[in-house]
Structure 1
Amino acid sequence: MARLTGDADRRGRGSIRRRGNSLQVRVYSGVDPVTGKDLYLSETVRGTDKAAWRRAEKAMTRLQARVDQQRAPSTSVSFSYAIDEWLRSADIEPTTRHGYVGYIERTIRPALGDVHVNKLTARMLEKLYGELRRCRVRCDGKPFVEHKADGEHDCEKAKCRPHECKPMASSTVRQIHAIISGVLNAAVRWDWINSSPAKVAQRPRQSAPAPNPPTPAQAARLVEKAFELDEAWGTLVWLVMTTGMRRGEVCALRWSRIDLDEGIVEVRSSYTTLKGIGREKDTKTHQMRRIALDTETTVLLREHKRSCQKLYALLGADWDENSYVFVGVRGDVTTPYPPDAVSNRYKKMATRLGIDTHIHALRHYSATELLTAGIDLRTVAGRLGHGGGGATTLRVYAAWVAAADRKAAEVLGSRMPRRQLSEG
């Protein structure tokens, strides 16, 4: 039987050797284009008798065929290296990239970084997800103290505390799975692996959407309080409430995109900040949409526009139609209201009123009020900027769609002719 080693392994392309009570089959598959090392496919056959040797020879023929058909993995780089290559080549928004890097450095790289990309399995991924759902720091379950400082220190002064396991949210684990999947899909495209184990690995189930909009009474209190604080802030809250715009979209809004005569607002971009630096980018769904404004909203925006023009004149700044509708604080009229500042101010205002809510809930309020009023799903989806012809809207607001459907049934039933029911 052929038993090849070293250079003979290259010439013969394969070897079979005894390893204890089994046979090891190895086939040379080329040179790693990244590390420059020789690559081999291997398989273990149990037994050392003649039948085992015949099975080993068949295995070697099968592995050689894989090499010939160029289906063999072409690299054995670490998953950490694959992550870095993916980050360099992936087209990701800066804010999204910043979030991805956080997940990678805190969780993914420590857990899987040293594993060869072609050795990563669905079982490894599922084990990681299970560990994260038990404890986000993947502790071993034994008690230990979480030290807040390095080296020798006074734990009491440093406020070191015993570790308490806190599970990672299912949505966060799904986000980590999406990052891993992106890296492995790239590895498949680059011929580093044959298939992605992330495609078959089970990830946590996605929680059913549970929007919690403020009630009409709460919404009235919120908008009334916003106008008490100042007219510009009240107009911003009112506009989000009546249009369902995202906070980044309302911050990026310019006067040139509002037609007060026609009562139309065009949503073309979103504003975001990263490490204190702001920039405009596409909307979340990369679509432009036109939203109709009601008469009261149009009146409020006209008054707000006059106030903005007066403010610019007072500050000696040049105003034009391309100016932001809601400008930064402290006299800076060249930058829009920061999205985080909008969220923080709204949260503080709601807390003072004793209402547990956040700015994004106004988007839910707009959607649910429209749906329960009987507005069709496609129109509501268009105002919100949801894609999929209303599929996203239906998934998130299914309960309110059902309520609107019940209302429609009652309306139709009330218009049907009455029938006299016989007694007995």
Structure 2
Amino acid sequence: MTRADGSEDRRTRGSIRVRGNSLQVRVFAGKDPVTGKDVYLTESVKGTDKAAYKAADKVQTRLLAEVDAQRAASTTVSFSYAIDEWLRTSDLEDTTREGYEGYVERTIRPALGKVQVKKLTARMLENLYADLRRCRTRCEGKPFVEQHKAEGQHDCKEAKCKAHKCSPMAASTVRQIHAIISGVMNAAVRWDWVTSNPAKVAKKPQQKPPQPDPPSPAEAARLVEEAFVMDDDWGTLVWLVMTTGVRRGEICALKWSRVDLDEGVIEIRRSYTLRRGVGKEKDTKTHQMRRIALDTETVVLLMEHRQRCAERFAEVGIELTDDMYVFTGVRKIDPRVPYSPHAVSSRYKDMAERLGIKTHIHALRHYSATELLTAGVDLRTVAGRLGHGGGGATTLRVYAAWVAASDRKAAELLGSRMPKRKPKKSAD
């Protein structure tokens, strides 16, 4: 109800008023917890006749029930504000945060920043994803100069200014943007700013099946042989990655305290990263510790490597202790500083290029996994060695082709053990 002066009687909490050829139902939903402003739920009903008023009464009753049940959106803040609050309160790795902020500033905030969180819909998100898959700058098909080569008034043709050419955003990048938006909206739901997350139902680009490309056994043999030719420490590092499937950052963070040569086991607990030239240890990718068994030859190589390190450090007056890194850089003898992950990748790439093999250090992880699966090692064991979560779901998704080959091998093995059937005698 409304007073004669047009203001609403707050005690009634709701009103029905004529707006043109329809009725507007308006219900007071409380104060915005962020802005402090009044929040209203509104809905329109077509017509102004008796039937329309009856329908409007039902709408008002429903909206009041929503408010009472605290199911109504309680804030009118923008999505841009929600992004800032999510980034401020989220526990993210530095590199992850930096990447998210880049996506936010380049793409998400310009497109959705001014939209109220409670008005964000799945359709809006799907339209954004479609636009990005057509052109990353969302140019709407209108030609324009993307980069001027001269300032002030000038002839773009003479100055050879860069004209815009549509470049579609990769599906994987759009999926990353979707993940950020979904994370923000999940937080908005937890904070009672919205009642549901539209990103959960929005259709995002399909994820392409992983296509690991490990080196062949012959190529792997050439790579590890060349690594030992370069120097024994480097050869041991490449060998250990190849036989355990550890990640680059994990091999760099490995300390002697996590190497049990008596039991033939290494513990992977930490990873080492470099960001803007500053290195630091952090949790593994899945935030889980794992123990990886070593074969006899690998144990011997690590024993020899430890002895070399001890002798090398002794020459400069340093005693090798368990809290030192297993692998250090080639230019500086300092057991307190691990091998740089970037240096490992670069050195490996240069070595592979000299051999004419197109590969990278992470492909050794694929090599370890595919060789184990091809040999018939069960999926759960392989997943455990790689540090995959989900009980092997990730391993199965990435290495499905090799799992299928292993399954075929298992079928043939079982078939060969079955009792031979006697041929049926002929009716003749």
TM range (shorter): over 0.9
AA paired with 1:115?
Answer: V
In the alignment, is the contact (CA less than 8 A) between 2:261 and 2:299 conserved in 1?
yes
Post-superposition Cα deviations, 1:285-336, rounded to whole Å, max 9, x if no partner, equal 2221111111221222122222222332334445311111111343152221
CA deviation after TM superposition for structure 1 residue 50, in Å: 2.4
Post-superposition Cα deviations, 1:173-225, rounded to whole Å, max 9, x if no partner, equal 22211111111111111111111111111112222122111111111122222
In the alignment, is the contact (CA less than 8 A) between 2:149 and 2:162 conserved in 1?
no
Q: Of the candidates 351, 357, 360, which is equivalent to residue 362 of structure 2?
A: 360
Report the Cα distance in structure 2 between the residues aligned to 1:72 and 1:264, rounded to whole angstroms. Answer: 56
Q: How many residues align?
A: 424
* Alignment TM-score, normalising by the size of structure 1: 0.92
Indicate yes or no: 2:176 matched with 1:175: yes
AA paired with 2:78?
Answer: S
AA paired with 2:47?
Answer: G
Q: Classify 1:29/1:413 alpha carbon distance in 2 versus 1 (closer, same or farther; 3 Å).
A: closer
Which consecutive unaligned segments of at least 5 residues does structure 1 have? Answer: none
Post-superposition Cα deviations, 1:348-367, rounded to whole Å, max 9, x if no partner, equal 32233222222111111001
AA paired with 1:390?
Answer: G
Report the Cα distance in structure 2 between the residues aligned to 1:422 and 1:126, rounded to whole angstroms. Answer: 63
In the alignment, is the contact (CA less than 8 A) between 2:149 and 2:160 conserved in 1?
no
Which residues of 2 match residues 252-263 of structure 1 at below 5 A? 252-263=253-264
In the alignment, is the contact (CA less than 8 A) between 2:2 and 2:9 conserved in 1?
no
Residue aligned with 1:8, SS: coil
Which consecutive unaligned segments of at least 5 residues does structure 2 have? Answer: none
Q: Please, which moves more after superposition, 330-339 or 197-206?
A: 330-339
Which residues of 2 match residues 20-419 of structure 1 at below 5 A? 20-147=20-147, 151-152=151-152, 161-331=162-332, 333=334, 334-419=336-421
Report the Cα distance in structure 1 between the residues aligned to 2:143 and 2:345, rounded to whole angstroms. Answer: 38
Report the Cα distance in structure 1 between the residues aligned to 2:5 and 2:422, rounded to whole angstroms. Answer: 96
Q: Please, which moves more after superposition, 373-382 or 154-163?
A: 154-163
Q: CA RMSD in A?
A: 2.4
Report the Cα distance in structure 2 between the residues aligned to 1:415 and 1:105, rounded to whole angstroms. Answer: 62
AA paired with 2:237?
Answer: L
Report the Cα distance in structure 1 between the residues aligned to 2:262 and 2:295, rounded to whole angstroms. Answer: 11
CA deviation after TM superposition for structure 1 residue 82, in Å: 0.5
Report the Cα distance in structure 1 between the residues aligned to 2:245 and 2:155, rounded to whole angstroms. Answer: 51
CA deviation after TM superposition for structure 1 residue 159, in Å: 8.0
CA deviation after TM superposition for structure 1 residue 417, in Å: 4.1
Report the Cα distance in structure 2 between the residues aligned to 1:361 and 1:391, rounded to whole angstroms. Answer: 20
Residue aligned with 1:279, SS: strand
> Kindly, what percent of the aligned residue pairs are identical?
71
CA deviation after TM superposition for structure 1 residue 337, in Å: 1.4
Post-superposition Cα deviations, 1:388-410, rounded to whole Å, max 9, x if no partner, equal 22222122212111111212222
Q: Please, which moves more after superposition, 92-101 or 144-153?
A: 144-153
Q: Classify 1:137/1:343 alpha carbon distance in 2 versus 1 (closer, same or farther; 3 Å).
A: farther
In the alignment, is the contact (CA less than 8 A) between 2:327 and 2:339 conserved in 1?
yes
Residue aligned with 2:136, SS: coil
Residue aligned with 2:8, SS: helix
Q: Please, which moves more after superposition, 387-396 or 413-422?
A: 413-422
Residue aligned with 1:205, SS: coil
Residue aligned with 1:221, SS: helix
In the alignment, is the contact (CA less than 8 A) between 1:4 and 1:12 conserved in 2?
no
* Alignment TM-score, normalising by the size of structure 2: 0.92
Runs of 4+ in structure 1 displaced over 6 angstroms? Answer: 153-159
Report the Cα distance in structure 2 between the residues aligned to 1:178 and 1:386, rounded to whole angstroms. Answer: 20
